[in-house]
A and B are shown apart, each in its own frame.
Chain A
Amino acid sequence: MMRLFVFIVFVFLYAPIAFVIASSFMEDGSFTLKWFENVFEDKKIATAFKNSLSLAILSTLISVILGTTAAYAYLKTNMRFESIFYTPIVIPEITEALSLLLFYNFTSFPLGFYSVLLGHIAFNVAFVFVIVKARLAGYERSIEEASLTLGANEIQTFLRVTLPLAMPGVIAASLIAFILSWDNFIKTIFTTGPGFQTLPMLIWSQAVRGSINPTLNALTSLLLLISMILAYLYVRISAKRK
C-alpha cells in the first residue's frame, strides 16, 4: 500500500520533467531535433547564455577567494561572530533582492551586469564560507602541526598540506557557488538593468506571458542536463574526502 503511494509521489515528481524533455523532441507526434536547432540558432538565447556563464564564473571566482580566505582565517584564529556569514543564507531571497535594488537606487549605481554580479557575490561568499569552513574544520590543527614537526615551515605547510587538503572542499564550494549563480532568478531580476538578460530571465519572460513553446522546452531540457552534470560532479567531488 505504502509502496503504491511512494510510487505515485515519484511519478508526480518526475512526470513534469519527463514531459518537458519528451516534448522538446516532438513535433506533431514525430521525433525531431528542430527545437534544439532553434535553441542553438537563437541570438537572444546565445547572448543570455554568455551572460549567465560570465556571471557565474566571475561570481564563483571572487566569492571563492573571499570566502575561502575568510574561512581559513576564522579557523586558524578562532574568530567569533561567524553568524555574520549565516544570515545571508537564512534570509528569504526576495528580501535580499529588494534590499540590493534599494541600495543601488540609493547610491545611484547603474543597473546591469555589475549590479547583478555584486549581488551574487554577496550571497555566494556566505555559502562558500560555510561549506569550506565545515570541510576544513575536521582536519586543521593536528595535520598542520604534524607537518611542522616534520620540518616544514609555515609556507611549505600551507602549500603542501593545507591547500591540497582544502582542495576538494574548495572545489565543492565552487560548484555550489557556480550553480547558485547560474540558476539564480530572483536576485538577478531585481538588480538587472536594461538589455542584460540571463537564461533564467529569458525563460521567465516568455513563460510568464503564458507562452509555452517547444523551443523553450528544448532550452529547459538542455539546462536540466547541465544541472544534472553539475550535481553529478558535486557528488563525485564530495566523495573524495581523503
Chain B
Amino acid sequence: MRFFAYPAILYLLVLFYLPLFIVILYSFGFPNFSLNYYFEVMRPIYFKVLLNSIILAAITTVFCFLLAYPVAYYIALRAQRWKNLLLVLVILPFWISFLLRTYAIMSILTPLGLMFTFTAVVIGMVYDYLPFMLLPIYASLEKITRSQIDASYTLGASPWKTFLKITFPQSMPGVVAGVILVFIPALGEFVVPSMLGGVYTTIGTITWDLFLRYHDWWRGSAISIIYIAAVLAALAIYMKKAGRIEI
C-alpha cells in the first residue's frame, strides 16, 4: 500500500527538491566553490534593489491592510443580509489569474496616463494582493459573535473601546497571516513591476534579468537563496507565534 505514494514522492524529489539543491550548488559557485557570489550580491547596487523590493512590499502590505480590514470587518460583523453575496464578490477576483488582473489594471491605467510610475506599480500590487490580505482577516473576524460585541457594550465599553479590546485582538491571527501572505510573495514579485513600472527594479525583476537575459546562474542563485532564507525565517517565526495564538 505504501508504495502507492512512492511515484509522487519520487517525482517531487527529482523535480522539486533536486532543482532547489542545484540552486544552492550554483550559489556557491558550482562547478567551482566560491563565496564570492554571496559577497557580490551584498554590494550597494544589489542592496538598492533589495531596499526597493522591501519598500514596495511594505507599502503594498500596508495599503492592503488599510483597505482589507474595514471591508473584512464590515462583511463579518455588519453586513447581515448581504453577507453571502459580498463574500462571493470578494472571493471572485481570487479566481482570476494574477496576470489577467494585472492586465486589467494596466488597461485602465493606460488611458488615465498613469503608467510607468511608482504609483502605478503600487496600485497594481495592491490590486493583485488584496484578496490575500482580506480572506485571512475575514476568517478571524468571522469567529467573533455579534453577542460578544453587545456584551462588551453592556459592560460599559464604547464601540471604539470594544474594537480595541475585543475585536482587534481576536483578529490578530488573521492579520498576521494576511501580512505574511502579502509581504513575502510581494518581495519576489516581477510581473507587476515589469508590466506597470517599466524600469522599477525589484528582487523579482533582477532575478528575471539574471536568469533569462544574462544566464548568470551564479549571482541569480545567490540572490534566490538569500530570498528563500528570508522567507523560511519569516515562516518559522509565524509558526512559533501561531502555536501560541488561538486560531
Contact = CB atoms under 8 A, between A and B. Distances in A.
Contacts of B23: 95, 98-99, 102
A185 B220 CA distance: 19
Interface in B70-96: 70-71, 73-75, 78, 86, 89-90, 92-93, 95-96
Interface in A123-145: 125-126, 129
B212 A190 contact: yes
B100 to A, nearest CB: 6
A146 to B, nearest CB: 20
A2 B70 contact: yes
Contacts of B220: 98
Given A94-B188, A96-B16, A73 B96 contact: no
B147 interface: no
B12 A95 contact: no
Contact of B8 (A17, A66, A186, A231): A66
Interface string B213-247: 00001001100100110010001000000000000
Nearest to A189: B212
Given A6-B71, A13-B130, A207-B195, A73 B15 contact: no
B3 to A, nearest CB: 7
Contacts, number: 202
B12 A91 contact: no
B169 interface: no
Given A13-B93, A98-B220, A103-B18, A203 B104 contact: no
Interface in A5-20: 5-6, 9-10, 12-17, 19-20
A100 interface: yes
Interface residues of A, number: 74
B204 A94 contact: yes
Interface string B112-138: 000110000000000100100000000
12 contacts: A2-B73, A2-B78, A3-B74, A6-B70, A9-B70, A17-B96, A69-B5, A85-B8, A92-B188, A102-B22, A105-B217, A186-B191
Q: Which 10 A-B pairs have the closest CB atoms?
A: A183-B97, A70-B8, A99-B19, A73-B4, A73-B5, A16-B104, A103-B19, A231-B95, A70-B5, A66-B8
Interface of A: 2-3, 5-6, 9-10, 12-17, 19-20, 23, 66-67, 69-70, 72-74, 76-77, 79, 84-85, 87-88, 90-96, 98-103, 105-106, 118-119, 121-122, 125-126, 129, 179, 183-186, 189-190, 200, 203-204, 207-208, 210, 212, 216-217, 220, 223-224, 227-228, 230-231
